A = this chain, B = another copy of it.
Amino acid sequence: MSAVITFLSDFGLTDTYSGICRAVIATVAPEATVIDLTHTVPALDVRRGATALADCVSVAPAAVHLAVVDPDAATRPGVALVAGASRLVGPDNGLLLPAAEALGGIDAAYLLTDGRWHRAPASPVFRGRDVFAPVAAHLATGVAPSDVGPRMDPCRLQRLDGVDSVVGHRQIATQIRHIDCYGNVQLSVTTGDLQRAGLDHGQPVRVGTRHETLDVRRVDSFSDLSSGELGIVEDSFGWLAIVAGAAAAADRLDLRAADPVRLGDD
């Protein structure tokens, strides 16, 4: 069986950092299939890394998910999480938790303290290369998670502040979760949230941004929209998204990631 390692980071594409990590993985686990999810998470943006990873893992096969967005390298330990048949490896800064939850929750958590699985000597400024990548590779070759370091209580893992939407009666206060390269505006709201708020009634949904308030049709797909028309779809990850027919909704509405958005009555 060829093990799969997925790899997400904020290493960018103009340096060799992600390539170097892959070289380290190839040294330890030459038979593993490595899948780059993305390396252009904005530098040090743990929240975006976390949401991107969470959206990916539910689609991926059982795998070792290596994720590195590591602004607090020396103050937060590295961890390996077991979630069903998958493992997640990276810093304990909240990056891995949404993905672990998307995989059904954390079965066990371990601190990456056993130097046997690290590159030596490990640089204090590149844990991705010297700790996370080699540990992920060793896990892919069959090393037991319990061998990488002492077990820890998953409740003590660091969490990101929630981007919880507030679902009220005929009203939802939420935030933009992500804007993709097509200008689709992903919200932290599901169809279920819309139903709970009583807004899934077949009529246009009132959308309030920082700039304006407008009524937007709920549609199934881009093909239900005329060119330039705004619509709300359920995106392929299960989130509601404001989109536009053959156009970039984010440009049309002048929206940016993390902007607040209101749905429903004012």
Considering the complex, which residues of chain A in the window 1-28 have a beta carbon less than 8 Å from any beta carbon of chain B? 1-2, 4, 6, 8, 11-17, 19-20, 22-24, 26-27
Q: Is A37 an interface residue (CB 8 A)?
A: yes
A195 within 8 A of B: no
Cβ-defined contact, A72 with B26, below 8 A: no
Whether B23 and A60, one on each chain, are in contact in the complex, defined by CB atoms closer than 8 angstroms, is yes
A191 at the interface (CB under 8 A from B): no
For window 86-145 of A, CB contacts with B under 8 Å fall at: 119, 123-126, 129-130
Is the C-beta of A155 less than 8 angstroms from some C-beta in chain B?
A: no
The residue on B at minimum CB distance from A184 is B125
Q: Are A23 and B223 in contact (CB under 8 A)?
A: no
Interface size class of A (residues with CB under 8 A): 35 or more
**Distance from A244 Cβ to chain B, minimum over Cβ atoms (Å):** 12
Q: In this complex, what residue of B is CB-closest to A182?
A: B43
List B contacts of A222 (CB < 8 A): 73-74, 125
Distance in angstroms between the alpha carbons of A43 and B114 in the assembled complex = 42
With a cutoff of 8 Å between Cβ atoms, the chain B residues found around residue A4 in the complex are 23, 26, 30
Q: Inside 8 A of A17's CB, which chain B residues have their CB?
A: 180
CB distance from A146 to the nearest CB of B (A): 26
Q: Is A226 an interface residue (CB 8 A)?
A: no
> Do A59 and B181 touch across chains, with their CB atoms under 8 A apart?
no
**By the criterion CB–CB under 8 Å, are A55 and B16 in contact?**
yes
Question: Taking the complex as formed, is A255 at the interface, i.e. its CB lies under 8 A from any CB of chain B?
Answer: no
Q: A123 contacts B235, CB within 8 Å?
A: yes
Q: Are A26 and B19 in contact (CB under 8 A)?
A: no
List the B side residues contacting A200 at CB < 8 Å.
none
Interface residues of A in 25-55 (CB under 8 A from B): 26-27, 30-31, 33, 35-40, 43-44, 52, 55
Contacts of A31 in B (CB 8 A): 2
Once bound together, how far apart are the Cα atoms of A61 and B32, in whole Å? 15
Q: How far is the CB of A220 from chain B (nearest CB, A)?
A: 5
A233 at the interface (CB under 8 A from B): yes
Contacts of A224 in B (CB 8 A): 74
Q: Is the CB of A56 within 8 A of B19?
A: yes
Indicate whether A236 reaches chain B with its CB closer than 8 angstroms: yes
- Chain B residue numbers with a CB within 8 Å of A23 are 4, 6, 35, 37, 56, 59-61, 63
